[in-house]
Structures are given as structure tokens and as C-alpha cells.
Amino acid sequence: MAEGSGRAAPGRRVLAPVVALGVLAVGAVGAHLWLNTDLLSGDEVCGGLVSTDAADAVFPSSGRVSDRDGLDERPGDRLAFSCTVESSSFLPGSDTAHIRVSAGRERGDFPFTDDGRWPNPATVSFFSGGATGAVGGVGADHGWVLLPADCTTQAGPAVVEGYAPEGSDPVELARLLTDVATRAAERAGCLTGGPLVAPAALTASPEPRPVEDGAVCGIEGLGFPGPGGRTPEGKGAVEETVTGVPGEGGRPTWACEVEGYATYAVTREPRIVEGIRASTGFEEQPEVAGRPVSGFDLRHVVADCAGVPTYFSLGFGRSYLDAVGSPGTPRTQDLFDDFVRSAGKRLGCSAPTS
């Protein structure tokens, strides 16, 4: 062949397809990284309040983390916001998963109220850890963390709350919410003492067990919260879910649910009690079991127990409410007095005034 002809040399004909395939491969890898991972996206979403790495650790499977519509804030309060974080992937069989993160102010005893929004305290893994340790709780795919005390106002403590997909790691959810709480407090100018520290592990939720008459929830002398003060006969054993014994094991928060009848709770966690006492509506109440108390009503109170402010609460279930008015059904206040009296003996509560 004469020099100058337009035919390409064999090496060049081979090189062109190889380069094209390489470009396609790089493009495919880039598309995968963009659509199915966080490697090519930012490291924060929700206006900088949520770390994509922390959120990705919560999701049951990996994907690209984004914040859909971004951060929704309430004007005038930097600690009132919500944001939906999603993990999406175009891999076959993958579903889009969501975490909803929000913050707001609550009455200080919100974890122990029976409005149906918060997990039953007997099923929650509570955690706390000193001056900079986060205070919070994680239940079934739902958790919360308190912001530092300097973020509390008369409207109550500031709380970060999160809903995660079913099957999420509760420890990772606690870490995510702790990180969001730190970032939110720093942004609002009420972070003191350094970042909040998340728990390294959580206590396992207890398994239900049969109720023992005369020692309901493992408290000697505590009667059954139903007709006759005894567990029903002929309907199978009523079960209780109880987180140990009040005052034992160094855990400041205790709770017990008697299936269908009542939920009892006690906390001596300083940050929770501070938030309770700072909330609107907290005031002196009539004596309970002969003891001076303050609180929000006659079933959500704080008493002095060996110099430690201690919160007691009692909520009722459908089985008890259906039995109200039936012969032998204890009055609600009698049941609460019985609870404070029996649990108070273990906690060194002040002796009755009469």
C-alpha cells in the first residue's frame, strides 16, 4: 500500500473500540456510584443537620441518601423542623426507604404519657451517660434524644425524634439522632460542653412474663390493676413486660406494662426530671400516698426519694377502662397511691406526712 492512503493501521483499528469500551465502563461505574451509593454525593443533607454516613448506617440496605424536599423549618424557632431522608437504588429488587427526622418542644414527661405517639416505655431501651452523654430512648423503629439543658424553655425541653424503616439497627438510630441533636443545638447556639455522646450499646427489650399476684411488675405489695385486685381467671395468664426493678442495676428509668391494664413508670434521670420541672403546668399537687408531690396532675408527679427528685406515672389500658364501674374495680387514684407507696419503699421516698 502506498504511503498517504486513508486506511488505518491495524493497531489503531484495535485501539479505538478499546477506548470506547473504557469510556462506557467508566460511565457505567459513575452512574452506579451516583444512583446507588453516596460516593459522588454530599456528606450532609437536611440543611447540614443529617450526616449521610450516619443515615446510611440506619437503613437496612445501602443506597443513595438524599433529603427529598429538604428541611422544613418553623419560622422563629431553629429547634422546630422536620426532614425526610431517603435511601434509593436502581438495583433490581431494591425499594426506597425513608427516615423521618424532626425536632420540637414537648412536655418534659413525654416518654411516659399515654397519647399513643410515643413507644410504650416498657418496650424502650433508655440510655444516658453523664455530663455529655446523650439522654434518649429507642423503641421499635422509633427513637428520641433530648437536646442539652440550655435548649430548654418554658415550652419544655427540645427533642429530636426519628422514625426508621422496620428492621433498622436501634444502636445506629440512637447514634444518628444523637448526632442530629448535637448539630441542631450547635446551630441554635445552645450546645454546651461539647458534642453529645451516643451510646455504644443498648439494653435489650425485655420479654413478657406472667403477672404474679401481690408482686405485680416485680414490686412486692403492688396489686393487680383490675377487678378484685387479682389476675382474671379462665382467660389465660395476663402478661407483663418489665425493665428490671426500680432502683436496681444503676438504670435511672424503669417501666412496666401490664398487658391491657396499665403502664407504670419511674425515672430519676436528672435531664428528664429537669425538663419535667421546667415545663408549663408543672405545679404542686395534692398529696399522693400521703407524700408531698408536684406534677401535672394526680398521676404524673415528682416526689422526693432520699434527696433525689423522682418521677412517677401511671397510664391505663383498654381492659382496665372497660372494667371501670364494675364491682371490685379499683379506683385510678387508689392504684396510683398503691404504686407510689410500693415503689417508693424501694427508692427511699419521703415518709408519709400523716
pLDDT in tens, 118-160: 989 999 999 997 767 899 999 989 999 999 999 998 888 999 9
Residue 87 to residue 165: CA distance in whole angstroms: 10
Pairwise pLDDT comparison (114 vs 66), residue with the higher score: 66
Cα 288–chain centre separation: 30
More confident residue, 234 or 347: 347
Please state the rounded mean pLDDT for residues 50-77. Answer: 91
What is the CB-side half-sphere exposure of residue 228 using CA atoms within 13 A?
Answer: 5
Give 265's pLDDT tier (boundaries 50, 70, 90): very high
User: Does the pLDDT value for residue 173 go beyond 60?
Assistant: yes
pLDDT for 40:
45
Q: Exposed/middle/buried for 105, CB within 10 Å: 0-12, 13-18, 19+?
A: buried
Is residue 81 within 8 Å of 206, Cβ to Cβ?
Answer: no
Supply the pLDDT for residue 132. 73
What confidence score (pLDDT) does residue 33 get? 43
Select the more confidently predicted residue: 122 or 3.
122
Predicted confidence band at 41 (pLDDT cuts at 50, 70, 90)?
low
pLDDT tens per residue across span 28-40: 444 444 444 554 4
pTM listed for this prediction = 0.84
Reply yes or no on whether the pLDDT at 309 is more than 60: yes
Could you tell me which of 316, 321, 331 has the C-alpha nearest to residue 229?
Answer: 331
Q: What average pLDDT does this structure show over 272-295?
A: 95
pLDDT of residue 90: 62
The whole-angstrom separation of Cα 177 and Cα 171 is: 10
What values do phi and psi take at 284, rounded to 5? -60, 135
pLDDT class of 89 with cuts at 50, 70, 90: confident
Q: Say if residue 18's pLDDT is above 50.
A: no
Other C-beta atoms lying within 10 Å of the C-beta of residue 175: 21
The Cα 79–Cα 147 span in angstroms is 9
Tell me what the pLDDT averaged over the chain comes to.
86
